[in-house]
């Protein structure tokens, strides 16, 4: 089983749509979770951390289900500028903060 698994997409949605991405992770001891956004040939940029209670940042909502080892990202009212690859990222248990990346889910928002 892959350490972090995501549906690669692509998700093609119109502007204004709501889209949800899912991610599963294999190590139940993992404690920290993130969503990063990556534009083509650019660096990953932190979108948001994911907390157990769920958290929201504007149009973006992240949820964590530890029992199912499942993380989600919901984007409401999609904008053209949301087109990117969304990376599910898990911090490896242990002391040195190594990040384990999923392969990413590609989102294309069209007019």
- DSSP string across 19-46: EEEEEEES-TT---EEEEEE-TTS--EE
Nearer to another protein, 78 or 83 (CB): 83
Smallest separation (angstroms) from another protein to the CB of 88: 10
Q: Does 73 bind another protein (CB under 8 A)?
A: no
Q: Which residue has the tokens 């992240």?
A: 62
Total of residues contacting another protein (CB under 8 A): 22
Buried b (16+ CB within 10 A) or exposed e, 5-22: bbeeeebebeeeeebebe
Binding to another protein (CB under 8 A) within 9-48 occurs at 32, 34, 41-46
| Residue with token string 């139940």 | 28
CB of 84: closest distance to another protein in angstroms? Answer: 14
Q: Under the criterion CB under 8 A, does residue 96 sit at the interface with another protein?
A: yes
At its nearest, how many Å lie between another protein and the CB of residue 18?
26
């Amino acid at each position: 089983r892959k350490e972090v698994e995501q549906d690669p997409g692509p998700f093609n949605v119109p502007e204004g749509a709501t889209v949800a991405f899912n991610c599963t992770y294999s190590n139940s001891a993992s404690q920290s979770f993130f969503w990063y956004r990556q534009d083509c040939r650019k660096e990953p940029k932190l979108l948001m951390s994911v907390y157990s209670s769920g958290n929201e940042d504007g149009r973006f909502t992240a949820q964590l289900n530890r029992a199912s080892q499942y993380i989600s990202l919901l984007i409401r009212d999609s904008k053209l500028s949301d087109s990117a690859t969304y990376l599910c990222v898990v911090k490896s248990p242990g002391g040195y903060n190594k990040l384990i990346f999923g392969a990413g889910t590609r989102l294309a928002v069209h007019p």
